[in-house]
Amino acid sequence: MLLSFCLFLILVIVDCCRIVVGKTTAAAKATETGNDRFRLSNAVVGVLVVDVVVVIGLAVIVVIGIVDVVVVAVVVAVVVVAVVVVVIVVVVIVVIVVDVVVFVVVTIIIRMLAFLLFLFMTITLRRHLLLSLTVVVLFVVYDHNTQKKHYRCCR
């Protein structure tokens, strides 16, 4: 951009010189004599050279402008791609972290529930076991007493 601006200023200065040379040429035409013809043709050639330089300079400015646009477009594309890649990486990291946290929390909850179920079953089984043992003991005692009575009765 700075290069284009500097080149444009140079072309403005050159064009101003062409205007000065053109005015000199017009003044020379007005006072044309035999000797001045050679000077006049040199002035016309000078104007043509300046015009060619201005046209070439403008073409260079256009090319530099196109290159600037292409460079800016490439930089914008690279920045957009970089932002997209960063967003994708961040999303993947967040998904992995959330997945790990959810897995750990669910695993802890499942283990806690399994432990509570184990405790409940153990307490329930102990109670049932104690109750069953009591029933068996009572049955054995009752049966033993019944057997005793039966044995006394039938003897």
Please give the pLDDT value at position 86: 95
Please give the pLDDT value at position 26: 54
Q: How far is residue 107's CA from residue 114's CA, in Å, rounded to a whole number?
A: 10
Please give the pLDDT value at position 85: 95
Block means of pLDDT (10 residues each) for the chain, 155 residues, are 66 66 55 53 64 75 80 91 95 91 83 77 68 66 58 54
Please give the pLDDT value at position 67: 82
Q: How far is residue 52's CA from residue 15's CA, in Å, rounded to a whole number?
A: 11
